[in-house]
Structure 1
Amino acid sequence: MEGRRGSQNEGVRISQELSEGEKRGTTHRKTTVKKCLNNFGISCNEDEVPHIAILGAGGGLRAMIALQGTLGELQNHGLLDSVMYLCGVSGSTWCMSSLYKHWDWSDKLLSLEERMYEMLLSTWSLPKAMKMLEEAAKDENYSLTDFWAYTVVYGMLHELDKGSLSDQRAASENGKNPYPIYAAVDEKSFNKLSENSADTWFEFTPHEASFLGHRASVDIKYFGSEFEGGEVKRKKEEMNMSYLQGLWGSCIGSKEENIEFIKDMLSFYIIERFGSNSAGFSGNVERFSTPSTGDEERSIIDITRIVHKTNKCLLSWKWGSINNFLYKISGINSAELMEDKIISLIDAGVAINCAYPLILCPERKVKLILSFDYGPGDPFKTLKQAVEYCRQNSIPFPEVDENLLREENNPSDVYIFRGENAPTVMHFPLFNKVNVPGHVTDSRFKFSPVRFVYNKEDFSKLLQAAKLNVSNNKDKILQEIRHVMASSNRSNLYSL
């Protein structure tokens, strides 16, 4: 089924086709990929270039810093220009969203690496956080994602980004950079259907926001506006990047840890706003029900609203509340979703901490996946989950020998899986017996995903570990590109 409801770009698009913006971006990117492969002695025309994807796993600041190092080292060896797609989950999206503010980021990764460290070392402005949070609390769809974005995530990244995802269109269409895809999941579908259902998965690009399983999309500029029957009923301002960073990266630690983070930040906010005598304010907002006048009155009204709404969201554990663009629409196979006026989107790390479902969309024609695992615990968990997802959805995926994945606490630096009529997968555990010999467990603990502060030394060590996984395996990556090209040529020959 294919069609659009509404006028021009405002309506809902139901189609198997990629967005026009993604088509433009990937078409322009083919010129760059072809030139890159030619430089390595691989001859092909633009229609034959293999679609290679990088998957950056989640893992808080660890993932953000590690992906920066991974991309920088790929570029250092001339390999980044061979990549068609860059897809991230959670902390990896923080790195991506920072890079795509620059239309030519792939040409200046070293300077952006230095900028990342300076940003993490800088201080954050509480007044700025307060202003953003106070504005967010006025919205009827306020949720814990708003509070998380403007306090916890801002407190980690030290940067408020008021830009929008559509601002990244130039950087994603000009062919200089891989095309970006950001992952999320629909909480209701995840709880009901699990991570192995395509209906669970949601994606963001600079052009559209989409329900993967329903092949339903809306222009990113109108995502969050009120829709009914596929048409915009009330336009809202496009979501800013800081909010989206909070939405994509809200899975840090357990539910209990998240609750404590939010409570601590709320208390800190109140004390900074009203002084230490207001420490009991969060539990007793009624005593401010009769405010005074002027600025103080506005402040009390604002803080009362934030405390009331945040506490209410904590009780119901409400995250990522957004107007549903499929509300009262026909043509999708989910009567329940059509009836929901509000959807709840959360960090994809709660499902599969690496966005295989999005990159394996058949229209993207990905032949080689470079999966960089930055997550906690079992370094093969995302790989095992991808195998199960593909099995349940009849998606071609290479056979994975479980015997190769038994060294969970002392993995190698790369694992390669090939299959007939399936993409080749190269899986890179962040910490391994090659880049941190004898210190895998210690490194995982030291660079925990819930670590919120990095000094210069540890920032450099983490970058170096990620870079070694590329530099030590650059020849293997090139070998797999050659293998994928040879396989594609054989397939084309057989089809004649």
Structure 2
Amino acid sequence: MEIFHKHKGEGKIRISHELSEGEKLGTNNRKVRVKKCLDSLGIPCNLDDVPNIAILGAGGGLRAMIALHGTLQELQKHGLLDTIMYLCGVSGSTWCMSYLYKNGDWTEKLQALEESMCARLSKYTWSVPKATKLLLEAAKDENYSLTEFWAYTVVYGMLHELDKGHLSEQQSASENGNNPYPIYAAVDERSFSKVTEYSPATWFEFTPHEASFLGYGASVPMEYFGSEYKNGELKKQKEEKNMSYLQGLWGSAIGSKTENEKVIKDIFFGFFKGEKESYSPSKESCPEGIVKGFPIPSTEPEAGDMEGSLHGEPAGASPGGFSPDTKNKPITENIKDGVGSVVDFARMWQKTTHGLLTWKWGTNNNFLYKCSALDSTELVKDKVISLVDAGIAINCAFPLVLRPERKVKLILSFDYGPFEPFKALKQTAKYCKENCIPFPEIDEKLLLEPDNPSDCYIFRGEGAPTVMHFPLFNRVNCPAYVTEWRIRFTMLRFLYHVGDITKLLQSARLNVLNNKDKILQEIKYIVVHSSKEASS
């Protein structure tokens, strides 16, 4: 069933569990490349028998972003990346994905992209005027929430860049068959608080083509996400959210509400006062690890002024990390510089303060508002929805790749999260059991050493996809250092020096290198098994 509004057929809402036409196009094109890769690996198969294999990147801040990059590069090195149909991420893994998919042929130039990422993440490139300008503009929207403030201060400070592009611009990179099809995860906070993480209604997904409620099979074209709808009709089209905002939304669940609240308040008041202490919060007022390398604002241009700072203090900065001409400079001085008016500034201050008091996150117009096709659901009563980091539910987006329409046969689950490495796996098993979704049985006897795990666990089940689970730090790639490295590479670090980036990349690569034969073996088993089923 499809609902069309009256504006020349554009921006239609789709009520269907079928895949979008864009995803069908992308996966069909990708299937040709996967077949060619399998043939080269000595696993010949018919085009119809090509298995859908998905990579899941867990959340974990910059640790996840860097580690996923290392994982993908090692898979490519051994000729395995072109076997992958889907790439699905949560939180920090989505930061890696959104960075890669700006390039239509990113799978062909991972080494160059790694060098670029390494250079960017190891430099201070945080600009108060740029952040202020975006915040003032965002605050003009009635749905402004803490997500905008988080995106343009904290996440910008972690990623060291502002991306004004749009997710819909990734359509070409996801349709051409050169890359796996990308899926970005979020959850609906209303459903999460009223139901559980084990309900499909909780889950929300973004692709370059659509934004969708998983549990309702309801989608809107990505270009129209955030626009105003009523009963399936477009009432007011709004500009598509930029990638920096989405990166903030996808990565908006760092720590508990209490921890987040302390961090946000500290940053918020310091942001306007220009206080050094506000940019270097105490350990008592912040989640673990946030004090290391918190980004210091600079009014210098982002590009071209940081050369030579890879292995030491950022160029043009004092030992404390402040640019000499911006130390203790209040953000209000940006008004004098023409960044925004007093009215703009007051509006942003008031709305951010209100967001702190009400803890308002990820507010967007609900495209299903008063939609008669779903009149029996509580969701249609809400004019707005609140979307947040999927990590608050399950820190690995199994529910999205387990959609039966995606027909995934093998899941490579890479755990980069801050929790014990089997938590997401156990949660998914429960999710599948409660929703009658085929999933292999998780043998608890294999998961007895969460603080000293192995590097690969394989779970198979009749009629269910095979799951290969890879904890980032384990007794194979960092023996005797598992706990130490979990703490050292906390997901709340804001700056990674080149040496630490290299260690993270190496850990992720070793998990692939040491298990590439097992991955190949599972692919071969699935292809042979599928061929037998087709012929019987």
TM-score, shorter chain, exceeding 0.5: yes
Length-normalised TM-score, structure 1: 0.94
Report the alpha carbon displacement of residue 451 of structure 1 after superposing the two structures with TM: 1.3
2:514 equivalent to 1:468: no
Who is 1:313 aligned against? 355
User: Structure 1 pair 309/475, CA: closer, same or farther in 2 (3 Å)?
Assistant: same
Please give the residue correspondences for 1:321-336 in structure 2 after superposition, counting only pairs within 5 Å.
321-332=363-374, 334-336=376-378
2:340 equivalent to 1:339: no
2:114 equivalent to 1:106: no
Report the alpha carbon displacement of residue 296 of structure 1 after superposing the two structures with TM: 7.4
Please give the residue correspondences for 1:281-292 in structure 2 after superposition, counting only pairs within 5 Å.
none
Please give the residue correspondences for 1:137-216 in structure 2 after superposition, counting only pairs within 5 Å.
137-216=139-218
Out of 422, 425, 436, which is 1:380 matched to?
422
Report the structure, 1 or 2, having the larger helix content: 1
Paired residues of 1:29 and 1:175 also in contact (CA < 8 A) = yes
* Aligned mates of 2:37, 2:338 — CA distance in 1: 61
User: Structure 1 pair 91/458, CA: closer, same or farther in 2 (3 Å)?
Assistant: same
Who is 2:272 aligned against? 270
* Aligned mates of 1:243, 1:316 — CA distance in 2: 20
Q: Aligned AA for 1:177?
A: N
Paired residues of 2:89 and 2:396 also in contact (CA < 8 A) = yes
* Aligned mates of 2:534, 2:524 — CA distance in 1: 15
Report the alpha carbon displacement of residue 48 of structure 1 after superposing the two structures with TM: 1.1
Who is 2:257 aligned against? 255
Q: For 2:361, what is the secondary structure of its paired residue?
A: coil
Who is 1:367 aligned against? 409
* Aligned mates of 2:171, 2:339 — CA distance in 1: 42
Who is 1:284 aligned against? none
* Aligned mates of 1:392, 1:301 — CA distance in 2: 51
Paired residues of 2:271 and 2:330 also in contact (CA < 8 A) = no
* Aligned mates of 1:361, 1:135 — CA distance in 2: 37
2:352 equivalent to 1:351: no
Please give the residue correspondences for 1:284-303 in structure 2 after superposition, counting only pairs within 5 Å.
298-303=340-345
Report the alpha carbon displacement of residue 268 of structure 1 after superposing the two structures with TM: 3.0
Aligned-pair Cα RMSD in Å? 1.8
User: Structure 1 pair 251/230, CA: closer, same or farther in 2 (3 Å)?
Assistant: same
Q: Aligned AA for 2:148?
A: D
Paired residues of 1:354 and 1:382 also in contact (CA < 8 A) = yes
Q: For 2:372, what is the secondary structure of its paired residue?
A: coil
Who is 1:289 aligned against? none
Q: Aligned AA for 1:219?
A: P
Report the alpha carbon displacement of residue 276 of structure 1 after superposing the two structures with TM: 5.7
Paired residues of 1:214 and 1:333 also in contact (CA < 8 A) = no
* Aligned mates of 2:383, 2:230 — CA distance in 1: 9
Q: Which range moved further: 339-348 or 327-336? A: 327-336
Paired residues of 2:105 and 2:173 also in contact (CA < 8 A) = yes
Who is 1:431 aligned against? 473
Paired residues of 1:266 and 1:307 also in contact (CA < 8 A) = no
Q: Aligned AA for 2:155?
A: V
User: Structure 1 pair 309/382, CA: closer, same or farther in 2 (3 Å)?
Assistant: same
Q: Aligned AA for 1:144?
A: L
Q: For 2:171, what is the secondary structure of its paired residue?
A: helix
Paired residues of 1:134 and 1:302 also in contact (CA < 8 A) = yes
Encode CA deviations 1:47-88: one digit per residue, 9 max, x unaligned: 110000000000000000000000000001000000000000
Encode CA deviations 1:79-137: one digit per residue, 9 max, x unaligned: 00000000000000000000000000000001101111111123122111110011001
Who is 1:451 aligned against? 493
Q: Aligned AA for 1:164?
A: H
Paired residues of 1:270 and 1:303 also in contact (CA < 8 A) = no
Matched length:
481
Q: For 2:186, what is the secondary structure of its paired residue?
A: strand
Q: For 2:53, what is the secondary structure of its paired residue?
A: strand
Who is 1:74 aligned against? 75
* Aligned mates of 1:400, 1:8 — CA distance in 2: 47
* Aligned mates of 2:477, 2:422 — CA distance in 1: 17
* Aligned mates of 2:336, 2:254 — CA distance in 1: 39
Paired residues of 2:133 and 2:340 also in contact (CA < 8 A) = no
Report the alpha carbon displacement of residue 252 of structure 1 after superposing the two structures with TM: 1.2
User: Structure 1 pair 275/408, CA: closer, same or farther in 2 (3 Å)?
Assistant: closer
* Aligned mates of 1:297, 1:166 — CA distance in 2: 29
Q: For 2:374, what is the secondary structure of its paired residue?
A: coil
* Aligned mates of 2:262, 2:2 — CA distance in 1: 46
Who is 1:285 aligned against? none
Q: Which range moved further: 308-317 or 343-352? A: 308-317
Q: Which range moved further: 297-306 or 351-360? A: 297-306
Length-normalised TM-score, structure 2: 0.87
Out of 226, 229, 253, which is 1:227 matched to?
229
* Aligned mates of 1:139, 1:3 — CA distance in 2: 29
Who is 1:4 aligned against? 3
* Aligned mates of 1:102, 1:359 — CA distance in 2: 23
Who is 2:533 aligned against? 491
Report the alpha carbon displacement of residue 301 of structure 1 after superposing the two structures with TM: 2.0
* Aligned mates of 1:42, 1:172 — CA distance in 2: 25
Identical-pair percentage: 64
Encode CA deviations 1:365-395: one digit per residue, 9 max, x unaligned: 0000000000012100000001000000000
* Aligned mates of 2:502, 2:354 — CA distance in 1: 41
Who is 2:319 aligned against? none
Q: For 1:331, what is the secondary structure of its paired residue?
A: helix
Q: Aligned AA for 2:476?
A: V
Paired residues of 1:182 and 1:205 also in contact (CA < 8 A) = yes
Report the alpha carbon displacement of residue 298 of structure 1 after superposing the two structures with TM: 4.9
Q: Aligned AA for 1:485?
A: V
Who is 1:84 aligned against? 85
* Aligned mates of 2:76, 2:400 — CA distance in 1: 24
Who is 2:316 aligned against? none
Q: Any runs of at least 4 consecutive aligned residues in structure 1 with deviations exceeding 3 A, and if so which?
A: 272-279, 293-299
Q: Which range moved further: 301-310 or 33-42? A: 301-310
Report the alpha carbon displacement of residue 277 of structure 1 after superposing the two structures with TM: 9.2
* Aligned mates of 1:115, 1:296 — CA distance in 2: 32
Q: Aligned AA for 1:237?
A: E
Q: Aligned AA for 1:269?
A: F
Paired residues of 1:89 and 1:354 also in contact (CA < 8 A) = yes
User: Structure 1 pair 275/479, CA: closer, same or farther in 2 (3 Å)?
Assistant: closer
* Aligned mates of 2:208, 2:330 — CA distance in 1: 43
Report the alpha carbon displacement of residue 265 of structure 1 after superposing the two structures with TM: 2.2
Report the alpha carbon displacement of residue 338 of structure 1 after superposing the two structures with TM: 0.8
List gaps (5 residues or longer) in structure 1.
282-292
Q: Which range moved further: 304-313 or 361-370? A: 304-313
Report the alpha carbon displacement of residue 297 of structure 1 after superposing the two structures with TM: 11
* Aligned mates of 2:458, 2:135 — CA distance in 1: 45
Who is 2:346 aligned against? 304
Report the alpha carbon displacement of residue 303 of structure 1 after superposing the two structures with TM: 2.2
Paired residues of 1:148 and 1:262 also in contact (CA < 8 A) = yes
Q: For 1:140, what is the secondary structure of its paired residue?
A: coil
* Aligned mates of 2:374, 2:187 — CA distance in 1: 18
* Aligned mates of 1:37, 1:15 — CA distance in 2: 32
* Aligned mates of 1:168, 1:157 — CA distance in 2: 19
